[in-house]
Amino acid sequence: MFTFAMYTLKNNGVSIATATTVQQLKAGVNGPVAILRHSLTQSGSVTSTQVASMLVRKTAAATVTTGVAGTTVLKQNPISITTDASLGTSATGITGSAECTDGEQTYARGFNVLNGQEAVYTPEERVIVPQGGIIAQKLLVAFSTTWYSEMVFAEMRGS
């Protein structure tokens, strides 16, 4: 039987000016992860511009700012156990500074920066990240502004 603990990986408003990894999640060793929802929006521009982003499996991790429990990696339920996600500069974190190898694109869409973007998956469509696997949300078009992003995920642990 699986138990599900839910968490949010969150970029709390970071200035990004290049096409890069906005946030990256590395599943821990105790079970796979299901991506339930992800979003991307901005607050620094009032100009209508089309950009694109994708959710991609990584075959090698980008270098990111390490995720911090309670700041950028949040529990959906405060009594949940600490996330099993691996935190680190080549693991779970936000705002890529050096890209690495992309694998399978699971989602790619264009959107207007004034509207933002949000993907909510039905149970059958959820992207599964295997134990130790890496998935990233990437901005595909350089657009300099303050970006906000969230990735809600459920850790599936056997009991």
Encode pLDDT of 127-139 as tens digits. 999 999 999 999 9
- Asked whether residue 106 carries a pLDDT value surpassing 90, the answer given is yes
- Asked whether residue 159 carries a pLDDT value surpassing 70, the answer given is no
d(CA 26, CA 151) in angstroms, rounded, equals 12
3-class DSSP assignment, residue 96: strand
Give the list of residues 6+ apart from residue 45 with CB closer than 8 angstroms, or none. Answer: 113, 114, 143, 145
CB 131 within 8 A of CB 30: yes
Note the pLDDT tens digit of each residue in 141-156: 999 999 999 999 999 9
Q: What's the fold here for domain 2-158?
A: Jelly Rolls (2.60.120)
Instruction: Name the pLDDT band for 157 (thresholds 50, 70, 90).
Output: confident
d(CA 38, CA 31) in angstroms, rounded, equals 20
Domain ranges of the chain: 2-158
Q: What is the mean pLDDT of residues 84-104?
A: 94
Torsion angles phi and psi, residue 124, rounded to 5: -70, -25
Q: Of 127, 125, 106, 139, whose CA–CA distance to 40 is shortest?
A: 139
Q: Strand 21-26 vs strand 134-139: parallel, antiparallel, or unpaired? A: antiparallel
- Asked whether residue 32 carries a pLDDT value surpassing 80, the answer given is yes
Give the pLDDT of residue 81: 86
User: Which residue's entry shows tokens 């459920």?
Assistant: 154
Instruction: Name the pLDDT band for 1 (thresholds 50, 70, 90).
Output: low
Can you give the pTM of this predicted structure? Answer: 0.93
Give the pLDDT of residue 2: 60
d(CA 131, CA 64) in angstroms, rounded, equals 20
